[in-house]
Amino acid sequence: MNYWQSTTVSTIVGLSCLMLSGMPAAQANTPRGDSGINVGSEAAPIGQPSNNSGGGNAGSSAPTASGGPAPVSPAGVQSQQAAQVAITAVTQSIQSFQTTGGSVQIQIEGGAVTISIDAPSVAAASPVAVGAGQVRLSVVIDNGEGAPQQRTFTMANAQTAKRVSATLAGVIQGLSSLKTSPARIEQGIAMVTQLGTVPQSEAIVPAQMASQMVVLLSLLDQLPAGELNAEQKDVLSDAINAYNDLVKRSSAEVIVVLAQQGEFQLIETQLRGLRAAVDAK
């Protein structure tokens, strides 16, 4: 059975109904290597709730009259600025991972996160199983509360490990610049490290992936679980656009991983739930 017949990650379009679309067709026209910070510029326009009486920038996700990308909320602007920080962090960290065995440290609120790629000889001696050609990546989180936490992940190969590490550095730095909650930073780490199972390293574009994830996660961090006010509805529109943008711009290999990824599924569920609640008002 064709994988795409059984599992898809669909864009969230139309606030009154769901339109599920298979990804391969969308991938064909997806630019690669773009920074990805122009949120929503290539995602399908997302309709607003049927009840827009709340005021605010209710039409923020609709296209402008000139056909260009619509304005985003203040929260969206901040997220895009954080995405630029992420891109800078990716560029800097790539230099640290030119050789397997590199390391980079990112400052976060109250501490730091250290990302390192073990040299093959170290990985081979590790109690963590590492197969032929695979590389071990370690993430040490020190948030100033208690002992540092170390997590170890097995990457498909050295090139993938370098790209995942650079992406991870960008996501953490970007989210940290907005003082995003530790829970969202943890979510970002979980999502990015899962991409280490993608053997085609070219399927991961660090600057693009990091900037898109920073925009999405930082916006989600500003959405409450309950009823949304007018400003929060604008943030929801920006977040849905960011989700759609990430899905549409990702390679087919990355989409397969995301479709099976628990954290990404939680994000999709959260966005669909919030949108449905607003639409029901």
Encoded amino acid at 135, one letter: V
Confidence of residue 169 (pLDDT cuts 50, 70, 90): very high
What is the predicted pLDDT for the residue at 218? 94
Half-sphere exposure (CA, 13 Å, Cβ side) for 161?
30
**Is residue 172 predicted with pLDDT exceeding 70?**
yes
One DSSP character per residue, 147-212 reads S-EEEEEEESSHHHHHHHHHHHHHHHHHHHHTT--HHHHHHHHHHHHHGGG---GGG--HHHHHHH
pTM of the prediction?
0.74
**Is residue 73 predicted with pLDDT exceeding 60?**
yes
What is the predicted pLDDT for the residue at 219? 94
Per-domain residue ranges of the chain: 73-279
What is the predicted pLDDT for the residue at 8? 52
Q: C-alpha 43: how far from its chain's center?
A: 15
Q: Is 31 exposed, middle or buried (0-12, 13-18, 19+ CB in 10 A)?
A: exposed
What is the predicted pLDDT for the residue at 110? 79
What is the predicted pLDDT for the residue at 106? 86
**Is residue 145 predicted with pLDDT exceeding 60?**
yes
Please give the residue that has the higher pLDDT: either 12 or 200. Answer: 200
Other CB atoms closer than 10 Å to residue 150's CB: what's the count? Answer: 12
Query: Which whole number is the average pLDDT over 180-196?
Result: 90
pLDDT in tens, 197-255: 888 888 899 999 999 999 999 999 999 888 888 899 999 999 999 999 998 898 888 98
What is the predicted pLDDT for the residue at 40? 33
Distance in angstroms (rounded) separating the CA atoms of residues 43 and 117: 35
Residues in the chain: 281
Angle, CA 7 vertex, CA 18 and CA 245 arms, to 5°: 55
pLDDT in tens, 22-70: 333 333 333 333 333 333 333 333 344 455 434 333 333 333 333 444 5
Confidence of residue 20 (pLDDT cuts 50, 70, 90): very low
What is the predicted pLDDT for the residue at 2? 35
pLDDT in tens, 78-132: 999 999 999 999 988 887 776 556 788 888 877 888 888 876 544 444 444 455 6
